[in-house]
Every structure is written in structure tokens, then in C-alpha cells.
Amino acid sequence: MFILDANDITSLEIYLQRQEWLSSNEAISQVSVPGEGNMNYVLRITTRERSFVIKQSRGYVEKYPNVLAPAERVLMEGAFYQTTKVDPFIAKFTPELIGVDQVNNIMALEDLGEASDFMFLYNSFKVIEISQLTQLTDFLGSLHKNFYSLSPGENFSNSAMRSLNHEHIFLYPFMEKNGFDLDSVQPGLQAVAAIYKDDKELKNEVERLGQIYLSTGNCLLHGDFYPGSWLETMHGIKIIDPEFCFYGPAGFDLGVMIAHLHLAGQGKSLIDFTLDRYSSINQIDYATLNQFAGIEIIRRLIGLAQLPLQRTLQEKQELLRFARTLIMA
């Protein structure tokens, strides 16, 4: 298996030429890292003529090598881009797919240039612009509506990645002893989390919700639609990292989006705007939406996938109580 290595330019150049992602007379002038990645090993390849991005998925999470993950996940991301490129509206928000190497789990993509994600929203003083929120919501609503299928088949079952996500969303945060000391994130958070780890009524409902997540639905979902997957580029907003994509309930994607607007303190008016805008494109199952929003808030506060939140312990307690009401209503 070929392993990407930014320090071995000679082997990298030979590999890319064999894949025909570089021409025979095209040489690499620079290899760099386009941004801080979590899941995969990502490089920007620059030649005298152009630049593009290559991404490899391995049997673990790049940021956390001790966390195992399906090695073929980049192939699902490639399938998402390949499938959705037929829709001009969706395609304008996603990078162009150059090619996929299924043997080595490597994908080549258009270089989006200098870009920044929307993680800055977790600073409580930052507010997303209405024009940006409009584009993000329109992308999601259009994706769910335009790639709706009554019989989606197995192409996007993505069962291995869903199983991984299911563990981290619906199981891990509620384990009494999961090896993660939440006090290392914020003193006092471990005791706050214990309330929800001991809540049998909540855990029963979360278990039921997890089974809905694992079942097949009718909408093609991005699968991880949060500010880390939203980019502001010189060419406008782009959506990346759909490696958790699958056919499921639209309420999951929308619920994740709404959850992160709450976590980022974006305010009721912006959340209402998002829901109204989405509902003008696609129908909303508010009960399912609210439950998925609630579980996303909880898992981001007391699970492994922590965010750079500017929140006091009391504010986190209030968010957790609010999230419980969303799930149990």
C-alpha cells in the first residue's frame, strides 16, 4: 500500500504521475499542509502550473491515532462528490473531484486556495452573517430534496462510518467510565456529566434515537454538517468532508446544524431564520430534528469530540438541560 509522506517528494511525484494526476513532465515544486485536519492525512501539491489537494484515509483518526476508523472512508467522500456533481447548485459548493485511488484510499481534489472554516463561531462574540447562513441552509435543503430516493440502495450505506459515529454520539458520552476525564476540559464538568450518565430515562430515549440514526432513510446526508465542515474561500462558501455521508433522516443533518448554532450562541432569531429558510425548500420533521439537535449538544459537551467553546460551566449546564428537554419532549 502506498502511504502519503510529505517528506518523500520523489516517491510522491512518481505515484501522482502513475495516477495521471500529474503529467509526465510536471514536477512538484512544493508540498504543504492546507489546514489542520482531524480525520485524514491531507497535502497540498503545488507545481509551476497549478495546485491541488490529495487526501488519504487510514485505519485510524489522524488527529487521534489511538482512535480506530474505517480506512476506506475517503472513498465515501469521493462517492459523494461524484454523485452530487450532477446538480449544479450543490456542485458549486463542493470541491471538484480529480480522481480516486480505491486501492490506496487516496483522493485528489481541487485546491480551494486560502480558506478558513467557521470554528470562529464558538467565540461567543462572533455572529454568522445572514448571507452565509442562507447559503449553508440552501445547500442542506437542496441536498436533501434533490437527492431524495425511495430506494437508496447500498451505495451510501456507509455502515462502518455510521457505526463509529454512533458510538461517539449515542454511547460514549453516557458511559460512566469511558477513560475521558472531563475535568481536564473544564473543572467541574465531570460531575455535571454524571447527572446525564445516570439518567436512565434519557439513555433509553437516546438508545432509540441511535437506532433511527443507524437505519436507512430517504435523504442523502452530509453526515457531519457543522462549522468545521464549512469553509469561507475566495470563491465563496464551500462544504467539505462529507465522509460520514449516508441515506438517512434529514433531521439528523439539520439537527446537527441547529445544535451548533446553539452551541455557538447564535441567537434565536438566526436559528428561526435557518428553520424557516430550510422549510421553504424541504419539509421538516420537528420532533426528530429537535432530538438530534439535543443529542449533538450533549455529545459535544460531555463526549470526546470537544469544541473550542467560550462557555462557563454554568452555561454548559444550561445547554445540557436544554438539550435534554429537546430529546425528551
pLDDT for the residue 35: 74
pLDDT of amino acid 80: 98
User: What's the pLDDT score for residue 271?
Assistant: 98
What is the pLDDT averaged over residues 148-171?
94
Summary mean pLDDT of the chain: 95
Whether 159 has a pLDDT exceeding 80, the answer reads: yes
d(CA 247, CA 226): 18
- Please, are residues 230 and 129 in contact by the beta-carbon 8 Å criterion? no
Q: Judge contact between 210 and 170, C-beta under 8 A.
A: yes
CB distance 250 to 141 below 8 Å: no
Domain boundaries of the chain, sorted by first residue? 9-110, 115-328
C-alpha 129, offset from chain centre: 21
Taking alpha carbons only, the member of 98, 47, 46 closest to residue 74 is 98
CB 235 within 8 A of CB 112: yes
Q: How do residues 187-236 score in pLDDT, each as one tens digit?
A: 999 999 999 999 999 999 999 999 999 999 999 999 999 999 999 999 99
Q: Which CATH number does 115-328 carry?
A: 3.90.1200.10
In angstroms, the CA 106 to CA 121 distance is 31
Angle at CA 250, nearest 5°, toward 94 and 254?
A: 70
Buried b (16+ CB within 10 A) or exposed e, 90-128: beebbbebbebbeebbbbbbbbbeebebbbebbeeeeeb
Determine the residue type at 254. L
Q: What is the per-residue pLDDT for 67?
A: 83
Name residue 58's amino acid. R
pLDDT at 74 > cutoff 80: yes
In order, the DSSP letters of 285-322 are: -HHHHHHHHHHHHHHHHHSSS-------HHHHHHHHHH
| CATH (residue range 9-110) | 3.30.200.20
Which strand ranges, in their side-by-side order, compose the sheet holding 28-32?
28-32, 41-47, 51-56, 106-110, 97-101
